[in-house]
A = this chain, B = another copy of it.
Amino acid sequence: VQKNLLVAHGGGPTAVINASLAGVIGEARRSGDVDRILAARHGIEGLLRGEVIDLTGLGDADLERLARTPGSAIGSCRYRVAEQDHPRIARALEELGAGFFFYNGGNDSMDTCARVAALDTDARIVGIPKTIDNDLARTDHCPGFGSAARYYAVSAAELALDVRALPIHVVVLETMGRNAGWLAASCALAREIEGLDPEMILLPERPFDEEAFLEAVRRHWERGRGFVIAASEGVAGADGRPLVESTHAAGVDGFGHRLPGGVGQYLADLITERLDIRARAEKPGLLGRVSQLLASEVDRREALEVGRAAARAAAEGMSGVMVALQRVSSEPYSSRTVLVPLDEVANVERRMPDRYIRADGLGVEAEFLDYVRPLVGGELPQPRLIW
């Protein structure tokens, strides 16, 4: 069996994707089973172009720095593997002497990973989960989500403080999350920072009802204080179409997803036009997935651990699986890694279950807070003195 290791990233980076990379490399170095540690630059697309770098020489200090590097240190891609790519991928693995192949990504990338696992190759193929959207199946949660959730919860709380400082108005905070509302929902954690949570949370799991929304805004407004609304970028109408779509043809990525943008501004304008209430929108966008100061240490530790577990699984002969996280206990929080078949994860989207969503569709239940609280990595910064 060949003894080189090959690792690559697919999809958007998270705050902790490089921690998983550090985990894979560190475990492989420790085990001594691996000769060379190789990485494809820019994911499977880079592999097809022959862009491979050698990371064998990295030391412990490098890996510690790597685990705190924003973005993706080896690059990533948004490329859907096609049938005609299959033989080229098999040949690349062969030529690189890759006995172990690790692909880190979300449900699109697990499709890539499953395709590679189905090739006629001796390499052991293991998927490593990652997505701020938290929409992978068969795992309690996804590395990357806890950090982005922390970012949005703190941001919602800080915006709520800003809103309270000035004559009343409304701020819409647009969050990432194309098809699943996990991140918008996480803004509700701001409730635990002196009740600074959004008054409303709009999720893609519930169709947007303009009149009901405006009525709710009007009702909150009459209480005489400014407030925050969290809205997922993927909020859609009853017909399933996003409220706002990019105006341009290029607004479609390699997987054919439409890229929504500006739903926050759309809602702010709607509030102002229909209710004559001053409103503005903020869209930190990619900042929510790249910020290191707001990353969750629990998330970083788990990201490291899923990388290590992937390397261990491959060393033990497993292939065609993804490492998943299983929650052992919420309080005190603990989790463990398990292995799940890749084809149960590939292309499956896990949206928020009904029990987490408030009956009016404009908020979340306490059970969701219990779910997300441990993932954001300890207490949120408490604001302090306000009259």
Contact = CB atoms under 8 A, between A and B. Distances in A.
Q: How many copies of this kind of chain does the complex include?
A: 2
A333 to B, nearest CB: 23
A56 interface: no
A207 interface: no
A162 B42 contact: no
Contact of A251 (B155, B272, B387): B272
Interface string A58-79: 0000100110111111111111
Contact of A387 (B74, B167, B384): B74
Interface string A256-286: 0001011001000100110011101111111
Interface stretch (A88-96, A114-122, A133-141, A287-295): A287-295
A248 B262 contact: no
A369 interface: no
Interface residues of A, number: 71
Contact of A162 (B13, B62, B269, B283): B13
B276 A282 contact: no
A13 to B, nearest CB: 5
Interface in A153-200: 154-155, 158-159, 161-162, 164-167, 171
Contacts of A76: 165-166
25 contacts: A12-B166, A13-B162, A41-B387, A69-B383, A71-B383, A72-B166, A73-B385, A73-B386, A75-B166, A78-B166, A79-B167, A154-B293, A158-B287, A158-B290, A158-B291, A159-B290, A171-B286, A246-B269, A259-B280, A280-B286, A281-B283, A282-B285, A283-B285, A293-B293, A293-B294
